[in-house]
Amino acid sequence: MLYRNFTIKVFIMLNLIPEPCCTLEISGAEQEKLVRMFKALGNPIRFEIMKFLVTHPGCITGDIVTFLPIAQATVSQHLKVLRQAGWIEGITSGPATNYCLHEANITWFRQKVGAIF
Amino acid sequence: MLYRNFTIKVFIMLNLIPEPCCTLEISGAEQEKLVRMFKALGNPIRFEIMKFLVTHPGCITGDIVTFLPIAQATVSQHLKVLRQAGWIEGITSGPATNYCLHEANITWFRQKVGAIF
DNA sequence: CTCCTTTATCGTAAAAGTACGATATAGTAA
DNA sequence: TTACTATATCGTACTTTTACGATAAAGGAG
C-alpha cells in the first residue's frame, strides 16, 4: 500500500492521471473489512439469510435450514461467512446456536458507505 | 419465489419456525439488483476503482489502468461489472470512455440498505 | 455411561470469478 | 485510404466459491 501511494503521487506529478478532487478516509484493515462485508452479502442465499434474521431475530440454525432449500452443511458455511464478515453474531445456547444481526457492525457499514460514496 | 413464500407460510403455520417480528419491503428484481451491487463491490480491485472514481470523477479507462497494477483487459472487465451492477456509468467521448459514479443508483443503494437493516 | 439433538467441519466435485495475451472495434488524424 | 490511440471482447489458464454427503464435536436427557 505504501508503494501504491507513492506510485499515485509520481503519476500525478507527471500528469499521467488527473488531480484528485478530494480525499478518502478509508484504507488498510478498515477497507478490507468493508470489502469483506460487501462480498458476504453479494450472494443470494446469504442475503436471504440476512433477511430471515431481520424478521426472525434470535432464531437458531435449524430454523434457517428449514426455511432454505439447501443442505445443513451449506447453511452452516454461509453463516460462518456472515459471522466472519461481521454481519451477524451467534450465541451458543446448549447444543443450538442463536443468531442475530450485529447491529454495531451494520451501523458502521452504513456510516462508511455514506461517508465514501 | 412464489413457491418459497408458500413454503414459509406453511412452516409458520406448523410452528416449524418462529413468527416473523416484522416485514421486509424487498424481493424479486430489486433484491437481485441489490445483491449484484453488493457482489460487485465485494472485490478489492473493484473497490479500489470506485475509490479512484470518487477522487477522480470523469477520468478515462486509461487513467485507471495506469493507476492499477493489473492488465488493461482486466480493468475493462471490472469496469463492465461495476457498470452492469449500476455503480458507475461510462460516457463515450471519441475513442475514450469517461467514467463516473452513478449517483442515483448509489443513493438508491444507501436508502435500501438503511431501510432493510 | 449411552443415546439423541444440534451444529460445525472435512473432503471433494462442479460452478463461477479472475487474470492475462491476443485480437477486434471504433474514433481521430493525416 | 493508412496509421495511431483507446477500449472492449475473446479464448483460456488458474483460483475461488459453492454445494453436498459424511463425519466430528458438544451439550442435554435418561
Confidence of residue B11 (pLDDT cuts 50, 70, 90): very low
How far, in Å, CA of A100 to CA of A58, rounded?
5
Please indicate, yes or no, if residue A8 is contained in any of the structural domains. Answer: no
Looking at residue B38, what is its pLDDT?
A: 98
Q: Is the pLDDT of residue A59 over 70?
A: yes
Domain containing B98 equals 25-116
Instruction: Indicate the pairing of strand A96-101 with strand B88-93.
Output: unpaired
Q: Is the pLDDT of residue A4 over 70?
A: no
Confidence of residue A80 (pLDDT cuts 50, 70, 90): very high
Strand D bases, protein C-beta under 7 A: 5-11, 17-22, 25-28
Cβ A11–B67 below 8 Å, yes or no?
Answer: yes
How far, in Å, CA of A93 to CA of B62, rounded?
55
Please indicate, yes or no, if residue B3 is contained in any of the structural domains. Answer: no
Between the CA of residue A60 and those of A49, A67, A77, what are the distances in Å? 12, 11, 14
Q: Is the pLDDT of residue B26 over 50?
A: yes
Once rounded to an integer, what is the mean pLDDT over residues B97-117? 97
How far, in Å, CA of A88 to CA of A82, rounded?
6
Please indicate, yes or no, if residue B90 is contained in any of the structural domains. Answer: yes
Q: Which residue has the cell 460462518?
A: A80
Please indicate, yes or no, if residue B59 is contained in any of the structural domains. Answer: yes
Binding-face residues of B in 8-47 toward A, CB within 8 A? 8, 11, 16-24, 26, 31-32, 34-36, 38-44, 47
Domain count, chain B: 1
Please indicate, yes or no, if residue B91 is contained in any of the structural domains. Answer: yes
CATH number of the domain encompassing residue A78: 1.10.10.10
Closest CA relative to residue B49, chosen from B91, B82, B86: B82
**Gyration radius (Cα) of chain A, Å:** 19
Q: Is the pLDDT of residue A74 over 50?
A: yes
Cβ contact A45:A51 at 8 Å: no
Q: Is the pLDDT of residue B4 over 70?
A: no
Write out pLDDT tens, residues B38-49. 999 999 999 999
C-alpha cell at A52: 430471515
Write out pLDDT tens, residues A12-54. 445 557 788 888 778 899 999 999 999 999 999 999 999 999 9
Please indicate, yes or no, if residue A6 is contained in any of the structural domains. Answer: no
Please indicate, yes or no, if residue B5 is contained in any of the structural domains. Answer: no
Please indicate, yes or no, if residue A46 is contained in any of the structural domains. Answer: yes
Lowest mean pLDDT among A48-57, B15-24, B33-42: B15-24
